Amino acid sequence: MTLLAAETTTTPRTTWNAPDRAEPAAPVGHGICGGHHGEILQGAFRVAGEEVRALITLPMPDKTAEATVRILPEPGKISVPAGKTKAAAAARLTLGHLGLDSGCEISLRNDIPASLGMGSSTADVVATIRAVGDSVGQRLPGAVVARLAVEAETAADSIMYPGSVPLFAHREGRILETLGPELPPLLVLGFKLDVAGIDTLEMRPARYTREEKARLGVLLAAARHAIGTGDPVLLGKVASASAAVNQRFIERPLLPELTRLARRAGAVGVQIAHSGSVAGVLFDAREPLRAAGAASRCRDELSRLGIDQAYLFSPYENYRQGGRQ
């Protein structure tokens, strides 16, 4: 379902005290949230003298979760589709945050592949939080959504901040720094790695050496410059180098081969979902036709490696996201 279709099917918002109706209809809210494709950069960074774990997410706006919430008069009654317990927790927290003494019924549609580290469950949570807010006519700020989302599922991605590229402290749910309004023009050729996804929260935080921390600091500076100046080439280097740092913690045996392949294909870098099981080859999209040509040649090379389910997307359309927010 596309974003537009989703908006047209939304039930018109009704307020609690609709004066010209005898019987107010139950308030309904709608929320949407895009998925992501793992991280461009992840590590521990020194921020104002403190060491903080943080990441820069690669958004994937083509894939979305949408939530529709119908407020129920029964306090505490939360009804969710089977298995969506994190969304239920998110709804409960958001109702509490808004001071609403009521329940709700949540329906969800989600086409973000689950268990690959693409933010599928975070997107359910964020869409639900937004939908609950929307049901009472509130557009919850990103920081509030982030805090509620982190509370509902312990850690989260930064996909609740459409229209900005944050350096996001994922274990704390706060933005350390906004690096810019959008990523540089990139075309991503993504694919599933033949490895199991790893639960970000279950995993012990990586213990970086001094040398790795020193390197990560430089990569963050490079990301800041690349995003600030719209330089896809430099950002590609950041992604490749961060993927290389991550090898010591979660090794992707394919990475060296991917790196060679990307170089041959004229790509700007290789991106890895640091705790997920997708990867991407990044192309400079400042010349879209050239990028598309290079990506298509690269797709052929990937299929020679046995990867034939590759897909293309553009992360920088992300600021369209956010549904009615």
Partner 1 sequence: MNRGLGNYSDAIALPKLIKLGPNLIGAAFSLMKLVPARYILHKATETGQLEAGGKIVETTSGTFGLALAIESALHGWDLTLVSDPVIDAQFASRLAGMGARLDIVTEPAPGGGYQQPRIDRVEELLKEYPEAFCPQQYTNPDNPRSYAVVAEHLVDSLGAVDTLIGPVGSGGSMSGTARFLRQVNSDMLAVGVDTHHSVIFGQPDGPRALRGLGNSLMPANVDHSTFDEVHWISNGHAAHATRGLHRSHAAFMGPTSGAAYFVAAWHARAHPDRLHVVMLPDEGHRYHATVYDDEWFAANAEAPPDEPRTVGSPLEGLRDWCRFEWNRRPSPAELTAVGAAQ
Query: Within positions 201 to 260, which residues make up the interface with partner 1, using CB under 8 A?
Result: 210-211, 214-215, 217-222, 224-226, 229, 231, 233-234, 237-238, 241
Q: Which is nearer to partner 1, 1 or 214 (CB)?
A: 214
Query: For residues 147 and 268, what is the distance between their CA atoms, to the nearest angstrom?
Result: 34
Among positive and negative, which fits the CA dihedral 119, 243, 282, 307?
Answer: negative
Under the criterion CB under 8 A, does residue 52 sit at the interface with partner 1? no
**304 to 190, 261, 267, 309: CA distances (angstroms):** 15, 11, 17, 12
Query: For residues 181 and 58, what is the distance between their CA atoms, to the nearest angstrom?
Result: 13
CB of 297 to partner 1, least distance (A): 23
**3-class DSSP state for residue 22?**
coil
The stretches of 47-164 forming alpha helices (DSSP H) are 85-97, 120-135, 142-153
CB of 180 to partner 1, least distance (A): 13
Q: Which is nearer to partner 1, 23 or 211 (CB)?
A: 211
Q: Are 192 and 277 in contact (CB under 8 A)?
A: yes
Under the criterion CB under 8 A, does residue 266 sit at the interface with partner 1? no
Q: Which is nearer to partner 1, 221 or 305 (CB)?
A: 221
Query: Within positions 270 to 309, which residues make up the interface with partner 1, using CB under 8 A?
Result: none
Q: Which is nearer to partner 1, 19 or 49 (CB)?
A: 49
Query: For residues 274 and 133, what is the distance between their CA atoms, to the nearest angstrom?
Result: 32
Residues found near partner 1 in the complex (CB under 8 A): 48-49, 210-211, 214-215, 217-222, 224-226, 229, 231, 233-234, 237-238, 241
